[in-house]
Amino acid sequence: MTDRKTAIVTGGARGIGLAIARRLARDGLRVAIADLDLEKAEREAAAIRSEGGEAMAIRADVTDPAGVEAMVRAVVDRWGHLDVLVNNAGIAGRTAPIQDLDVEDWQRVIDVDLTGVFLCCRAAVRAMLPRGSGRIINIASIAGKEGNPTLVPYSAAKAGVIGLTKALGKELAQSGILVNAVAPAVIETEILQQIAPETVQYMLSKIPMGRAGKPEEVAELVSWLASPACSFSTGAVFDLSGGRATY
Domain harbouring 33, CATH code: 3.40.50.720
> Helix (H, G, I), strand (E, B), or coil: what is residue 182?
strand
> Helix (H, G, I), strand (E, B), or coil: what is residue 143?
helix
Q: How many structural domains are present in the chain?
A: 1
Residue 244 lies in a domain: no
Q: Is 154 a catalytic residue?
A: yes
Instruction: Let me know: does 27 contact 229? Beta carbons within 8 Å.
Output: no
Residue 240 lies in a domain: no
Instruction: Let me know: does 87 contact 117? Beta carbons within 8 Å.
Output: yes
Pairing of strands 6-10, 177-184: unpaired
Buried-exposed string 109-145: b where 16+ CB fall within 10 A, e elsewhere: bbbbbbbbbbbbbebbbebbeeeeebbbbbbbbbbbb
pLDDT > 90 fraction of the chain, expressed in percent and rounded: 87
pLDDT tens digits for 8-27?
Answer: 999 999 999 999 999 999 99
Residue type, 68: V
Residue type, 229: A
> Helix (H, G, I), strand (E, B), or coil: what is residue 237?
strand
Instruction: Let me know: does 183 contact 200? Beta carbons within 8 Å.
Output: no
Q: Which domain holds residue 143?
A: 6-234
Of 161, 212, 167, the closest CA to residue 153 belongs to: 161
Query: Given this model, what pLDDT does residue 191 score?
Result: 78
Residue 218 lies in a domain: yes
Distance CA 67, CA 69 (A): 5
Split at pLDDT 50, 70, 90, the class of 133 is: very high
Query: Given this model, what pLDDT does residue 1 score?
Result: 42
pLDDT tens digits for 158-203?
Answer: 999 999 999 999 999 999 999 999 999 989 888 787 788 888 899 8
| Average pLDDT over all residues of the chain | 95
Instruction: Let me know: does 57 contact 160? Beta carbons within 8 Å.
Output: no
Q: Which of 6, 15, 85, 154 is catalytic?
A: 154
Q: What is the DSSP letter of 193?
A: G
pLDDT tens digits for 71-111?
Answer: 999 999 999 999 999 999 999 999 999 999 999 999 999 99
Residue 247 lies in a domain: no
Split at pLDDT 50, 70, 90, the class of 149 is: very high
